[in-house]
Structure 1
């Protein structure tokens, strides 16, 4: 009469696999060793198929044998909190059954007959199956004749078809017909949901403790207690609140934390294979003080735009850097007056100018040589030919008398046309783009002129400027916010500002006009968390791109240019130079060969006359 428990077990394994829980804890009521052992074995095998396993199992005595007042079950459940697993499967239990009317009648009759054993008066699933079996026999006997044989009675029993207390009673091939069981999903928070042939997506939201709808990890580390979440410190007074921003919400009468570094941290936590309970605690001291708080255990960890420095390793360990960094100088940019007068010379590179002049001179010389060979009296033509070839070529009665000269001049005129177009385009670009240069070229200039510089008030940069770069403390202006730097430059309070590279990128994305990076970049460790060594993957490029784009107030055409990037070199017109030069070389060889042939011809004629 029993249903095949495999269907139930396989459904449980499918749910575990759907939520990707790899380890579970099994709780069962120990009232039948044989049945319990077989169910646990079957469940273990089914979980192994989907890549999960039973990490721990706990046996409880039947509820009727345990007084509700001694709290034994609650005490055992509390012990499970020390276990790292957070997924519990309850099997072989009579705690919840949906047979209230039958239960009431059963308890009444049982109490009447066995008054001294009232504690055993609650029916189990086995009682339901025994009741259905007895009812099947009773129906078969009622439908069979009084003199029916046992085989006839058995045949009548196999034709049974009714809804029993343990399920539908139908047989096929002398076996109770299998049917899909109805499971009841009981939310810890929320209403009950009953389903049969349904997928997990059709169930709708499943409410977790605290009303959360996110799927629990199913695993937590031994060190972390749900009742005592980690205290994660975040810098509350950073100059760049795009990385960490602490705001106050009157609705919740408390603060909430946002920013790029917080998003990175949350992305890391989501990829941990266990649940990490934590709270973000605003810290109003310096970054060094925050790291020290981790060392003295007032904070369990720290998250933010915290630079990885060697001296900080004596207080805390750092994760892998999530942003590469370095120390860079930002100064104002001023127009480059020295380049305006001779800016046209920068339209071509120096190599391009030299090749063009050399080609022009060589081709002019070749044409002069050809024309002189044809008419020795035209020597003056060579002095002006290369200057006026373009005009002379298109005259029908021009001075070019040789077809070879025209053959040389044609490709060069085409090359000059292309070069002139490139010159015009390059010069136009240079005249429309501002030529800017840094107001301060290097750190030595700042030190030599005793200039004032600015940096983030709570940053390590203050000590770095003094101890490493040699700035005087009185020349360092400590600035509180990214928005205060432009005013400090404008008022002359600072001549340069020092940022870590990620901060410099954000500053220039917001204030691109009139500022530029200059000087060397001092290599540093990068941004990291004083927390467990976890690697973030996948979302960092997207988050960094979003950080810069969302705070970019500059158009793509705005920028600092030194003019050299638009200088035209010889490579784009190298083919024209090669063709024109090759033709000119051929014509040169032809022109230099004609006088020799003419001289030999005249000599032969003279010798013939002498002989005659």
Structure 2
């Protein structure tokens, strides 16, 4: 005969989810058996399914057992004010507790603009039968109630309504009762009496007991489908529906309906159609404080921020010189928070609570304020670390981070710039090949049968002639002055090397001169870092720095000064700051490997559902380019892009690995040419030697036979003896 508790908690959770409220507080009066506590636990499970957290449960014992009802209620309501949620669900409450509850809520300012009060059927039905109009007008404005649905348009209910008013008025008007409207419980009581009557009639007919016949009774009564179940009051073979009401003025207005398994409806006539999971189907709602603006579900958030970041542009708090109050809070981190909050829920309000970051109060202490519940969110250039995550939950990082070492740079000796395009090994190899080709040309030209006379003169003339041939391959064609075919082959292979190597040399030298290469000065003996960050502990525990070798830096401008004064020889800075530092200071570079760390995030209480919501919005801001725009606004650079770190090795010099195939080709061509020349020279020499041995015999034969030859014109020929 009663409404289903399972349907009621689903109705509550659906309503809360539609407004995207992430925290609620439940208040209820328990019975001596703890039955309502079970329903409250069921409600917590349903709320968790829609991503809402039950912040606090205010449990009241039965009113009859409370000696000081007003004091008990005030004390419990004061505890609820310590929590973030401003959405209050009154699950079960008697009339006496309900009256005191709303009176104290008004006194404590808990029914002002921004709060939401949702009441179950136990309270909502009292508006028809118990509470007078003056109480409703003064203490319950803006309350949302859920009444079990009763079809009041049927003829049976209209007749019952008229009879009830007449009977109630005649009986109780003389006692000052002015509420004559029947509630849902009156209709259910009427149905219960009708069920007992039917069961009694059936018992008389069957000659058995009333209890035996009650389970078989079922009908559609004033309150809907009715079926009593012995031992367990529960609805079967039907569904639960609730009328949603909104207290306005001296009474309430109907704003919609909710049907289990179907959702919300705007009109009673639509209950046979599919419903909606969104509250746009409902009428306009008037909330506590007399506003039609939907509450955000949270009290004004206290957001802790560092008074001033070590690095400009991230967070900055300005004060009013006259009053000393906070005048403005600005910076890149603040803009990211504002953008995320606006996307999440524009109705959430917040205020900033500045904290001065000193040697005695670090960023870890700021995060600890969240754990101590002195602030609700910690915002700033806060890096998520394992130690900090023990005290708070962190959102997705809005800027990636890491730890890098910054060192000063000095210019290379410009007198050596001309040799930098190639590595020393390549230079040695090129000159070795040059001298090898020099020797090959000298040998080929000197031993050629048509050799220039300069190659048969003094050694210095031979040396000069050889250099002249080699040099001309670079500047002009040597042409016919190279008389040896083999020499030309060597010159061609060398010319190919010269053309390719000279072009690469010119291109690489131009690159070096344009970039004005710098050389890092590596000395990690004394390191500077942000003294208020976790970096100090990281250097000691991970990188094994001694405490006396760590110099805390308070503000950004101290880093260049500390380098110039030799106070520090290196600085360990988080990557977002590195990008800012390098964009504002010349002659510094990142050296060595970058230590990967958690990025800049917002810190919230552990288990806070808003952490996931903010993380989702931060990812959306990263994807749509909003954060990149904010980076450009505050720093004129991207904090998300970072070049390759240098480790002091000259990576612009071309090495032997680039030219080895070309050099091997030139060497091989010269070697083959020399071998061919030597073989050819040897073969030619042997042939001439044989010819010289045969020549004398042929001469004697010609001298004996010569007088016997009769030629008519022999006098015209000269005989060579």
**What TM-score range do you get, normalising by the shorter chain?**
0.5 to 0.7
Cα deviation 1:242-289 (Å, max 9, x = unaligned): 34422126999425545567789999999xxxx9x99633327x3236
Determine the structure 2 residue equivalent to 1:198: 276
The CA distance in 1 between the partners of 2:658 and 2:692, in whole Å, is: 54
Which digits, 9 at most, give the CA deviation of each residue in 1:134-188, with x for residues without a partner?
99xxxxxxxxxxxxxxxxxxxxx99x9xxx8x6899xxxxx9986976646899x
Are residues 1:509 and 2:604 paired? no
Indicate how the Cα distance of structure 1 residues 253 and 123 shifts in structure 2: closer, same or farther if over 3 A, else same.
farther
Partner secondary structure for residue 124 of structure 2:
coil
CA distances 1:368-425 after superposition (whole Å, capped 9, x unpaired): 4445554363444545322223466573x452441x5444443432332222222222
- 2:482 equivalent in structure 1: 399
Task: Pick the aligned partner of 1:384 from 464, 468, 478.
Answer: 468
Identify which of 428, 431, 437 aligns with 1:357.
431
Considering only CA atoms, is the larger Rg found in Structure 1 or Structure 2? Answer: 2
Aligned pairs for 1:313-352 within 5 A: 324-325=402-403, 339-352=413-426
Alpha-carbon distance change, 342 to 232 in structure 1, aligned in 2, over 3 angstroms: closer
Question: Residue 415 of structure 1 is aligned with which of 489, 494, 497?
Answer: 497
**CA RMSD between the two structures:** 7.3
* Residue 109 (str. 1) matches residue 167 (str. 2): yes
Determine the C-alpha separation between the residues in 1 that align with 2:36 and 2:411.
Answer: 86
Residues 239 and 457, structure 1, Cα contact 8 Å, conserved in 2 = no
C-alpha distance in 1 between matches for 2:48 and 2:591: 61
**Corresponding residue SS for 2:318:** strand
For residues 67 and 168 of structure 2, the distance between their equivalents in structure 1, rounded to whole angstroms, comes to 20
Structure 1 regions of 5+ residues with no counterpart? Answer: 136-156, 170-174, 218-225, 448-452, 472-477
- The match for 2:661 is 575
CA-to-aligned-CA distance 1:56-102 (integer Å, 9 cap, x gap): 97777999999998476666656667999987655552423586999
TM-superposed CA distance for 1:123, in Å, is 3.4
Pick from 298, 301, 311 the counterpart of residue 240 of structure 1: 311
**1:589 alignment partner in structure 2:** 675
1:429 corresponds to 2:508? no
Residues 123 and 72 (structure 1 numbering): CA distance in 2 closer, same or farther, change over 3 Å? farther
**Separation in 2, partners of 1:214, 1:533:** 22
Structure 1 segment 44-59 matched on structure 2, within 5 A: none
Contact 1:7 1:181 in 2 (8 A): no
Q: Residue 573 of structure 1 aligns to a residue in which SS? A: helix
Mapped partners of 1:42, 1:296: distance in 2: 33
- Whether contact under 8 Å (2:63, 2:69) holds in the other structure is no
State how many pairs are aligned: 527
Tell me which residue corresponds to 1:145.
none
Hey, what's the Cα distance between the residues in 1 that align with 2:447 and 2:85?
A: 102
What aligned pairs does 1:83-122 form with structure 2 within 5 A after superposition?
89-91=89-91, 92-96=120-124, 106=164, 109-113=167-171
Are 2:440 and 1:366 equivalent residues in the alignment?
A: yes
CA deviations 1:299-323 (Å, max 9, x no partner) are: 9699877999xxx99xx99999996
What displacement does 1:354 show?
Answer: 1.6
1:148 alignment partner in structure 2: none
Which structure 2 residue ranges, 5 or more long, are not aligned? 92-119, 134-151, 153-157, 195-218, 227-235, 257-263, 266-274, 343-347, 456-461, 699-721
Which string of whole-angstrom CA distances, capped at 9 and with x for unpartnered residues, describes residues 488-517 of structure 1?
Answer: 79xxx964565552497266334234x435
Secondary structure in 2 matching 1:123: coil
TM-superposition CA deviations, 1:462-496 (whole Å, max 9, x none): xx99983599xxxxxx998646888x79xxx9645
Encode CA deviations 1:586-607: one digit per residue, 9 max, x unaligned: 3233233333333444566677
- The counterpart of 1:468, out of the listed 548, 553, 568, is 548
Which of 177, 186, 192 is matched with 1:127 structurally?
Answer: 186
Cα contact 2:243–2:254 (8 A) shared by 1: no
SS of 1:247's equivalent in the other structure is strand
Structure 2 counterpart SS, 1:288: coil
Deviation of the 1:347 alpha carbon: 2.8
Task: Give CA-to-partner distance per residue, 1:205-236, whole Å, 9 cap, x none.
Answer: 9999999989769xxxxxxxx89x98958355
- Distance (Å, rounded) in 1 between the aligned partners of 2:48 and 2:325: 48
1:63–1:53 distance in 2 versus 1, CA, 3 Å: same
Contact 2:333 2:380 in 1 (8 A): yes
Please state how far the C-alpha of 1:458 moved relative to its aligned partner: 9.1
Are 1:442 and 1:518, in contact at CA under 8 Å, matched by a contact in 2?
A: no
CA contact (8 A) 1:370 1:405 kept: yes
Q: Per the alignment, do residues 563 and 408 of structure 1 end up closer, same or farther by CA in structure 2, a change over 3 Å counting? A: same
Partners in 2 of 1:307 and 1:52 — Cα distance? Answer: 27
Find out whether 1:551 has 2:631 as its counterpart: no
Tell me what 1:221 maps to.
Answer: none
| d(CA) in 2 for partners of 1:577, 1:27 | 89
Cα deviation digits, residues 503-551 of structure 1 (max 9, x gap): 97266334234x435999999x99999x999899997997899769942
Q: Structure 2: how far apart are the matches of 1:107 and 1:75? A: 40
